[in-house]
Amino acid sequence: MKKHSILAALFMVTAISFGQKKELKKAEKALASGDITEAMSQLDMAESMMSGADTNQQVQFYTLKGEVQSQKAGDDIDKLKMAADAFLKAKELSGDSDSRVEEGIQNLRVNLVNSAIKDQNTKNFDRAAKKLYTSYTISKKDTSDLYYAAGNALNNKDFDSALKYYEILNDLGYSGIKTELVATNKISGEVEVFNSEVERNLMLKSGEFIKPEARVTSSDRGEILRNMTLIYLEQGNEEKAKALMKVARSENPDDPSLVRAEADMAYKMGDMVNYKRLIKEVVALDPENPELYFNLGVSSAELKEFEEAMTYYEKALELDDTYNKARINIATLILKDETAIVDEMNNLGTSRADNQRYDVLKEQRNNVYHKALPYLETVVNAGTDKIEILRTLMNIYSQTGEDVKYKEMKAIVQQMEGGQ
């Protein structure tokens, strides 16, 4: 009786094995002919028998499943993840030795990254982050995918995911530094990056490019640590933010991106004294950057150091005449003097002396307006869409008696308000 049972079991195993091979063979054929639906159908039938399959058959099954899901997925993140899971299972079973599995993983990674770029371009940062993170999970040597996943999660304000990704990058010691093969375009004069030395050599031989060089990119570590500290602060974890920044600065005391990161942290914590000190350090390292002078102006204004703030804003404009944020803040500083004048005007009585004082104050107020006008008019002429600036300009025209300009600005403001 035992012999019959053993024999029956042997027949059963053979039958299952034959069935598995049959379905997998049909799935291979359907995939090769482009019939994804049929390939998936055959894999569904084979799946229930996989527990009894040998390792080679399981590798073949999960590889096929990854290939089919990858082709079927399009831009669907859930299906792309299913493909990734299948390839990871095949890789686990094959022990990293199967070239077909590796090829499938690299093809899927290309699909994931290209799809993520499309999502980025349409500002669908959530999907982009998930696709790039999935790409990293199937090919962990490509840590740049995780870096870009973190950036997209941050853009999506998904601070938990962004922090998770940044913490992995920090633990890995990721810097993003790489060597790029570059050459200069003879016609445009622009330096362009090439994917390989072979590609660059061909373009050099064509005579279209000159000056081949190896260029080392800057480190992303400062940005990663800055974003981590700002997320910690966003989550109310000030101590962790301070501890991380202390370690980062001790490791890289002269890294300008880390000085900037510490400055951003100080600003976020409302520590304007330290913020201003740190921004001055950054300015010393990058003295031609108008944004830094603008930021110094902001911190000085918040510390009520108004003359110093004006000097920094003017320096920002000196470096970049189109830096209209500085013009807006200069106008704001000028118009600050209006408050005290108007308060005094409102407290005057009706005596002759008060009337005379009123006229003096009115002239002072008009001088303030005329001093601010060129800055605001330049901003408006540059095409601002900030209705508060337009409304301020309209009110100034009203007070200074410039009726034509007042009516023009009022029409623009009303049109914008109607479109809101």
Over the chain, what is the mean pLDDT?
86
The one-letter amino acid at 417: E
Checking if the pLDDT of 19 tops 70, the result is no
Q: What span, in angstroms and rounded, lies between the C-alpha atoms of 420 and 189?
A: 45
> Cβ–Cβ contacts within 10 Å for residue 103, how many?
12
**Stronger pLDDT, 69 or 4, i.e. the higher one:** 69
Q: What is the mean pLDDT of residues 61-86?
A: 86
Residue 238, token pair as written in the block: 């000030």
Q: What is the mean pLDDT of residues 169-195?
A: 91
On the CB side of 148, how many CA atoms lie within 13 Å of its CA?
Answer: 18
From 200, 210, 113, 129, select the one nearest 162 (Cα to Cα): 129
- Any domain includes 395: yes
What pLDDT band is residue 122 in, cutting at 50, 70 and 90?
very high
Q: According to the model, what pLDDT value does residue 192 have?
A: 92
Checking if the pLDDT of 288 tops 70, the result is yes
- Any domain includes 343: yes
Select from 163, 193, 216 the last residue of a domain: 216
Checking if the pLDDT of 52 tops 70, the result is no
- Any domain includes 285: no
Question: Do 39 and 30 touch, CB atoms closer than 8 A?
Answer: yes
- Any domain includes 352: yes
Q: According to the model, what pLDDT value does residue 416 have?
A: 85
Checking if the pLDDT of 242 tops 60, the result is yes
Checking if the pLDDT of 252 tops 70, the result is yes
Checking if the pLDDT of 18 tops 50, the result is no
In sequence order, the β-bridge partners of residue 260 are none
pLDDT 10s digits, 384-416:
778 999 999 999 999 999 999 999 999 999 988
Checking if the pLDDT of 9 tops 70, the result is no
- Any domain includes 286: no
Q: According to the model, what pLDDT value does residue 370 have?
A: 94
Q: What is the mean pLDDT of residues 158-168?
A: 96
Q: What span, in angstroms and rounded, lies between the C-alpha atoms of 221 and 81?
A: 29
Q: According to the model, what pLDDT value does residue 380 have?
A: 92
Q: What span, in angstroms and rounded, lies between the C-alpha atoms of 76 and 134?
A: 12
Question: Do 148 and 166 touch, CB atoms closer than 8 A?
Answer: no
Q: What is the mean pLDDT of residues 343-358?
A: 93
Select from 190, 216, 242 the last residue of a domain: 216
State in Å, rounded, how far the first CA of the chain is from the last one. 87
Q: What does the DSSP 8-state code read for residue 346?
A: H
Q: According to the model, what pLDDT value does residue 128 have?
A: 95
Select from 189, 216, 243 the last residue of a domain: 216
> Cβ–Cβ contacts within 10 Å for residue 222, how many?
20
- Any domain includes 360: yes
Phi, psi of 410 (to 5 degrees): -60, -40
- Any domain includes 294: no
**Stronger pLDDT, 68 or 273, i.e. the higher one:** 273
Checking if the pLDDT of 329 tops 60, the result is yes
Question: Do 294 and 263 touch, CB atoms closer than 8 A?
Answer: no
Q: According to the model, what pLDDT value does residue 56 have?
A: 82
Q: What is the mean pLDDT of residues 295-306?
A: 91
Total of domains in the chain: 2
Q: What does the DSSP 8-state code read for residue 193?
A: E
Question: Do 27 and 43 touch, CB atoms closer than 8 A?
Answer: yes
The boundaries of the domain holding residue 371 are 338-418
- Any domain includes 346: yes
